[in-house]
Amino acid sequence: MEHDVSGRRGLLEILSWARPHESDTEQAFCREFLDRVPGMKADAFGNRMIAVGKAPRILWSCHVDTVAARGGAQEVTVSDPGIAALRHGKSGMSLGADDGAGLWIMLNMIAASRPGLYVFHRGEEHGCLGSQWIRRTTPQVLGGIDAAIALDRAGLFDVITHQSYGRTCSDAFAISLASALNELDAGFRYRPDNSGVFTDTNEYAGLVPECTNISVGYYSQHGPRETLDLGHCEKLLAVMLRFETENLVIARDPSLCDDAAWSWQDELGNRADLAALVAEHPLLAAEMLLEAGITSDDFWLAAWERERGGGADYRPLSSL
């Protein structure tokens, strides 16, 4: 069966596949949507990749897996303002715009022969497994790459400069990328943001000069209330089909780990302090979570992920 990913209908079809890592649905999706693309290759881990153009210097990144308790078909609805959501969202489900939106944009960029190395990672939601595999076993894939840009971030405006590695992208690069996007669409307001946590490009920060991720229009990811601003996603694709990378500023030295004072040890200490405070003031903690937009369904899903063995790989609901 051929799948036409062009237009809004193609995006909505991608969102209709719940595809947790290692599920039969994920495998079927890769066969149906990725392996049919002429020139697409799979590595030993199952990441898919394709180079468009001669010696591309920009890596475009997304991930195939979604946060879901089980794989299968799911019904997507669209409201009048053009916001996609699950029609019957329940605990253990998510829309999967994280990262179905980035996946859709990249497939359409490939179809339009836009230059770049396109990598469709597996296992991002389980701790960036696919990108870790590339970094550890086939780093030569990244040879000659100046910038790795993940189309995988909540909201509408962010060009991420910092992830768990520390600084992964120079301010100069982030400004040049944001400016280029904003010039191509007068309604865009992209700007550098240092509040990233991690996505696949974080794994490449020691090898690739500029590693970032940018907002693609989803919100409340990893839970049944996830939404996608279809209009923004469509406008971003239109920009990417005209986007020229020659003027992006490459300034960061990947051999230097900037902002190294931040560490996971510091974060673990903060978690222990917070856990003690939550135990002492549970109702206040619940009130603050609700004010931050985190519902009992979101918390249940996070707990379910932890019980499955997610452990330290769990990321805050607002992280991407």
pLDDT value, residue 294: 77
Cβ partners under 8 Å of residue 174, min gap 6 = 159, 160, 161, 192, 212
Question: Residue 119's closest CA among 138, 141, 100?
Answer: 141
pLDDT value, residue 234: 98
Question: Token pair for residue 133?
Answer: 């595999």
pLDDT value, residue 1: 66
pLDDT value, residue 316: 43
The CA distance from 317 to 263, in Å, is 20
Backbone φ and ψ of 63, nearest 5°: -135, 150
pLDDT value, residue 262: 44
For residue 286, the tally of other CB atoms under 10 A from its CB is 14
Farthest CA pair distance, the chain: 60
* 8 burial via Cβ count (<10 Å: 0-12, 13-18, 19+): middle
Task: Supply the pTM of this predicted model.
Answer: 0.83
What is the DSSP secondary-structure string of 151-178?
---BSSSEEE-EETTEE-S-HHHHHHHH
pLDDT value, residue 228: 98
Q: Which helix (H) or strand (E) holds 12?
A: helix 7-15
Residues of the chain predicted below pLDDT 70: 1, 258-273, 291-293, 301-320
pLDDT value, residue 178: 98
* Cα–Cα–Cα angle for 188, 12, 73, rounded to 5 degrees: 140
CB 95 within 8 A of CB 12: no
The CA distance from 228 to 211, in Å, is 24
Sheet holding 83-86, edge to edge: 76-78, 83-86, 227-229, 218-219
The CA distance from 133 to 78, in Å, is 37
- pLDDT per residue as tens digits for the range 195-243: 998 899 999 999 999 999 999 999 999 999 999 999 999 999 999 999 9
Q: Which helix (H) or strand (E) holds 116?
A: strand 116-121
pLDDT value, residue 305: 62
Q: Which residue has the tokens 């918390």?
A: 299
Mind listing the domains of the chain with CATH numbers? 7-240 (3.40.630.10), 264-313 (no CATH)
Question: Residue 18's closest CA among 66, 86, 63?
Answer: 66
pLDDT value, residue 235: 98
